[in-house]
Amino acid sequence: MMSISVLVILSGVIAIWFLWQKPSVKMEQSSQSMSETTKVSSTNVSNTTTTVAQEQGVTIVNGILVVNKKHPLPSTYNKGEDPQAKAALERLKADMKAQGFSISDQYSGFRSYEYQQEVYGNYVKRDGVEMADTYSARPGHSEHQSGLAFDILNGSGQLLGDSPDDTQAVEWLATHAHEYGFIIRFQKGKEAFTGYQAEPWHIRYVGEQAGEIYESGKSLEEYLNVSGGNYE
Q: What is d(CA 222, CA 46) in angstroms, rounded to the nearest whole number?
A: 21
CB-based contact 79:147 (threshold 8 Å): yes
Specify the pLDDT at position 54. 84
pLDDT at 99 over 50: yes
pLDDT score of 26 more than 60: no
pLDDT in tens, 32-48: 333 332 222 222 333 35
Distance, CA of 74 to chain centre: 19
Q: For 46-91, how does the pLDDT look when each residue is reduced to its tens digit (9 = 90+)?
A: 335 778 888 889 999 999 999 999 999 999 999 999 999 999 999 9
| End-to-end C-alpha distance for the chain, whole angstroms | 96
Asked if the 52-224 domain carries CATH number 3.90.550.10, the reply is no
Locate the domains of the chain by residue range.
1-47, 52-224
The pLDDT value given to residue 77: 96
pLDDT at 56: 86
Give me the amino acid identity at 31. Answer: S
Give the chain's radius of gyration (CA, Å): 31
Sheet arrangement for strand 199-205? 103-108, 149-154, 199-205, 182-186
The stretch 4-11 carries a mean pLDDT of 40
Q: What is the pLDDT of residue 48?
A: 54
φ and ψ of 13, to 5 deg: -65, -45
> What local confidence, expressed as pLDDT, does residue 191 receive?
97
| Average pLDDT over the chain, rounded to an integer | 84
- State residue 92's pLDDT score: 98
Q: Indicate whether 127 pLDDT > 90.
A: yes
How far is residue 84's CA from residue 66's CA, in Å, rounded to a whole number? 17
Question: pLDDT (tens digit, 9 = 90+) per residue, 185-217?
Answer: 999 999 999 999 999 999 999 999 999 999 999
Name which of 224, 75, 208 is nearest 141 in CA terms: 75
Least confident of 5-9, 47-51, 55-59, 143-147: 5-9
Start-end of H helices in 47-157: 83-98, 113-127, 129-132
- Judged against a pLDDT cut of 50, whether residue 10 lies above it is answered with no
* C-alpha–C-alpha distance, residues 217 and 212, integer Å: 9
Query: From CA 201, how far away is CA 204, in angstroms rounded?
Result: 10
Contact partners, residue 198, CB within 8 Å, separation at least 6: 186, 187, 188, 189, 190, 191
